[in-house]
Amino acid sequence: MTAKPLTLNVLKFAQANEKITVYLTKTPAPNAIKFSERDALQLKSDNELGDDWTAVYCVTSSDDNNSFSVTKATSPEYCKADEDCWSISFLKKYYTLQLTLYFKSLGLPCRNNFVSDTEVWVKTNSPYPNCIGYKAYTLRVQFNYKEKSFEMVLISGEVHSVHSKSINDPLFSEIDADDFGWMVYGTEIMKRKFITANAQRNLSQVFPSLNPKLRSQLKFAVPTPDKGNRYVKQFAEMEQFKIQFLSSDALTAFMTIDLNWKVETPHFFDTTALKNLQFGDGNHTQPKYGMPQFGPKELITDEVVFFFIGHANDTPLAATLNDYFKGNYPSEFKGISEYLKMMYCTEPKLSIWFENKENPLPEIEAALKAKKEQNTIVNSKRYVAIYLSPHSKTNPSNSIRKIYYQLKELLLMHGIVSQTIDVGKAWGYQRSLMPAPTVIDNNDGKKPISKALVKQGFHYSLANIAVAIYAKLGATPWCFEKQETKELVIGVSAYMSRDLGKKYIGSAFSFTNEGRFQGFECFSEHQISELAGSIKMAVKDFCDANTSISRLVIHFYKKLSYRDLKPIQNALAELKLSVPVVVVSINKSFSDDLVGFDLSAAHKMPVSGHYLSINNYQYLLYNNQLSKYGQEKMDDREGYPFPLKINIQKFMPNEKLSTSIPDEEIVPIFEQVCRFSLLYWKSVSRQWLPVTLRYPEMLAQIAPHFKYKDLGQLGSECLWFL
């Protein structure tokens, strides 16, 4: 199968003017461009600017007759022999400013984002009451050095909901200033803490955009996320934006846009064989069918006991879940014994029911201690706690959210893995009981307990719950075939904790190429030497168990700097290993800035295995459910992920600079990324980001909340954080 051309969200444009004149200023001003340090030095030298010009800015028009005007050509072809032209750096800023001024002239709110792109807000519908929706579009000016031409990337972004009441309305009088995010004032978009003096004098015209904190304060329910086809939706949005705004004659004053989308032919490798997963008694391409048909890859022979922890009012839900786990509703879920090929066992006196929803930990801790003293919990058995959480994980209260982490740590300290089920999602807030008068005895054997009537469709989540529990117990639900290459794969990812105000880094070590994980660590973002030390131990353990190692592969959440790499290289040198280190940096949120569309297909999603080189060592990789051309029937639950943005660096031993990657090495690296994306054991629905990044991110999200760092063997070797 050969690759099909992809249509990119990129428009080429030509510069309309041979020369550009600007006016220099030493102070920042509205709509002023700040020159780069290199450009500023050149301008100060050419124009004999004094030492008081600590920085150089420019505006495109000036009424000051004494201002320094500078005229330069926009391209070397327009320069005379003794002239220099404007730098690419300046021209990108210049055209970005011109685009911003153009959209503001149309009355559209605009801002420049953190990478200085133009972001335009266009009115649309809002899912929230009393709000006006704004669809954000980003225009990024870039220079294609290969083609020696300017380009504009058009990015269709999220919808911002702006409240119809102004910031000085009594509705917002009791809301803390830190809970506000973006504000819209005419065509200006600004942060609350950076509001301009003009906006401050006209607060009745300043309107707040919803962010998570403000949304929570206003008690707005979060709408169900749209899991439809992003390719079809976003391409239609970009087409509409292009026709409505980019074909205007007003733009020809400074640029001439080619309104035909850029088309490139990518490379391709077949991913069909990569998706052949191994289960207990057979192979299948999809876990949601392979698990019930063939069972898990590994069997658990230990005696495992399940019990419930929850509020006293939620015992009817436990009774219903117990029925599901026993297999009493086989048409909806086979039950734990049949699905996981392990005995489902509960002990009635083991479950724990607390009274205080706001602070349940003292009751739970006391109950666990008593059960251990009474030998209700014994070391010869393994335990799984099903925690029926009375609170949503998005609860605005920090103390309520902490309960989840505190309970998980408490159970791990007792050697117990846990699975949390949100009572509100399972049973609902308008709770119903089964119409039949079926009752069971509760723990004391006296008072009967009715069974909960769970929400429609809840049973679909039971397969995900079962798989996650199985992985937390340390067993393998499924894996891919054994690979011949002897290499250690390490995943390093990060999570920014808003509650703690710090970024944490998690790491996961895969000791086999078929995807067996062992060893998880968590560090703050500054503990690079500690991370290197843990990698050293992982490499040593791998070498002790294998005769040789061909290379170390690191899946990293960002492009790795030499400063970050050096401690890792030193650690390898101490082990006297002379092996290359391949760093595969993967954007965790997929590429939503540069996207390629297959316009020959109705769904517009390119077939998995296509990859496109976008600059030196950086690629777009398509990894999705689509295995062949012509497949129009798609599973919406599998999703329509945008491509992964990947950067590859190969460092030879003790080398500071990365070397070029031969073409024959690129495809095996991409195949490995695709394989590891199939080992997501939190769900039977496939994921498309490799678990070498997903698992460490989950770890970094939870572990920093723990009081103790040493959780014993259970805490460092099993997937308790799923």
What's the mean per-residue pLDDT of the chain? 87
Count Cα atoms within 13 angstroms, Cβ side, for 215.
18
Q: What's the pLDDT band for 279 if we cut at 50, 70, 90?
A: very high
Give 408's pLDDT tier (boundaries 50, 70, 90). very high
The 10s digit of each residue's pLDDT in 442-486 is: 555 555 668 888 898 999 999 999 999 999 998 999 988 876 667
| Residue 218 to residue 300: CA distance in whole angstroms | 48
Strands lying side by side in the sheet with 255-257: 206-208, 182-185, 188-191, 110-112, 118-124, 131-144, 149-163, 10-15, 255-257
Q: What percent of the chain has pLDDT over 90?
A: 50
Please report the sign of the dihedral spanned by the C-alpha atoms of residue 52, residue 53, residue 55, residue 58: positive
Looking at CATH, the fold of the domain delimited by 487-590+643-717 is given as Nucleotidyltransferase; domain 5 (3.30.420)
173 or 261: whose pLDDT is higher? Answer: 261
How much is the pTM? 0.88
Model pLDDT, residue 303: 94
Delimit the CATH 3.40.50 region(s) of the chain: 299-472
CB 619 within 8 A of CB 253: no
Evaluate if residue 713 carries a pLDDT over 60.
Answer: no
Q: Return phi, psi of residue 521, to 5°.
A: -135, 160
> Which CATH architecture is the domain 299-472 placed in?
3-Layer(aba) Sandwich (3.40)
Contacts of 672 (CB under 8 A, 6+ apart): 489, 513, 553
How high is the pLDDT of residue 437?
46
- Residue in the structure block whose two tokens are 């496109």: 612
Digit-coded pLDDT (tens) for 104-126: 999 999 998 777 899 999 999 99
Helix or strand (DSSP H, E) at 237: helix 230-245
Segments of the chain assigned to CATH 3.30.420.10: 487-590+643-717
Q: Do 375 and 467 touch, CB atoms closer than 8 A? A: no
Instruction: Read off the pLDDT band of 512 (50, 70, 90).
Output: low
pLDDT at position 557 is 84
pLDDT score recorded for residue 463: 95
**What does the pLDDT look like over 15-74, one tens digit per residue?**
999 999 999 998 888 889 999 999 999 899 888 888 888 899 999 888 776 678 999 999
Does residue 579 surpass a pLDDT of 70?
yes
Helical packing angle, 528-545 and 562-574, nearest 10° = 40
pLDDT at 611 over 80: yes
Q: What is the mean pLDDT of residues 586-604?
A: 87
Q: How far apart are CA 608 and CA 151, in angstroms?
A: 27
